[in-house]
Amino acid sequence: MLAAVPARAAEPASADEPAIRQMNDDYVRAFLACDVAKFRSILADDFIGVLASGLVVGKAEFLAQAAERPDALDLRLHDVVIRVYGDSALVCAAVTYRRADGSGVRTRYTSVYVRRGGRWAVVLVQWTRVLAQVN
């Protein structure tokens, strides 16, 4: 299940924001469905992923991992923020889900999108595991 809560922007939304939001939703759906073909279409060839473990992977390594079924149930997005800066865009969000063993996971991610030749692609994603709530 994908549930996104839009963030309120302090400035008017960019005309590109709906396309970026759709790509972000496609990314999450591809993760849940192990849709390597979709990932291949939205990730730039020079894509870099920084996993929550700190491991840095390129596109080929990421696609190999994307083919494996994730241990993520009831995945939800929170506090999605999209900022477009010309031909670049940032997407930040919090993610919560449960593992099959019932344990809960909280993660934050930041994705960097770049428009090249009129087409948006993800060039970088970094995940950070949230270990404790900070008040």
Which of helix, strand or coil describes residue 66?
helix
| pLDDT tier, 131 (very low <50, low <70, confident <90, very high otherwise) | confident
Least confident of 33-37, 47-51, 131-135: 131-135
- Measuring CA to CA, how many Å separate 66 from each of 36, 43, 44, 61, 87? 6, 12, 15, 9, 27
Say what the pTM is: 0.84
Residue 29 or residue 135, greater confidence: 29
Phi, psi of 122 (to 5 degrees): -85, 125
pLDDT, residue 18, reads 95
Residue 1 or residue 118, greater confidence: 118
Q: Tens digit of pLDDT for each residue in 80-120?
A: 999 999 999 999 999 999 999 999 999 999 999 999 999 99
Tokens read off for 90: 């940032």
Domain boundaries, the chain: 17-129
Q: Which of 83, 87, 135, 71 is nearest to 110 (CA)?
A: 83
pLDDT, residue 12, reads 55
pLDDT, residue 101, reads 94
Segment 20-26 shows an average pLDDT of: 96
pLDDT, residue 36, reads 97
Give the DSSP H or E segment for 37. helix 36-42
Give the DSSP H or E segment for 47. strand 43-50
Work out the mean pLDDT of the chain and round it to a whole number. Answer: 89
Task: Pick one of 3.40.50.300, 3.90.1150.10, 3.40.50.80, 3.10.450.50 as the CATH number of 17-129.
Answer: 3.10.450.50
Those residues whose C-beta lies under 8 Å from the C-beta of residue 81, and which sit 6 or more positions away, are 7, 9, 90, 91, 92, 93
Q: Tens digit of pLDDT for each residue in 38-90?
A: 999 999 999 999 998 999 999 999 999 999 999 998 999 999 999 999 999 99
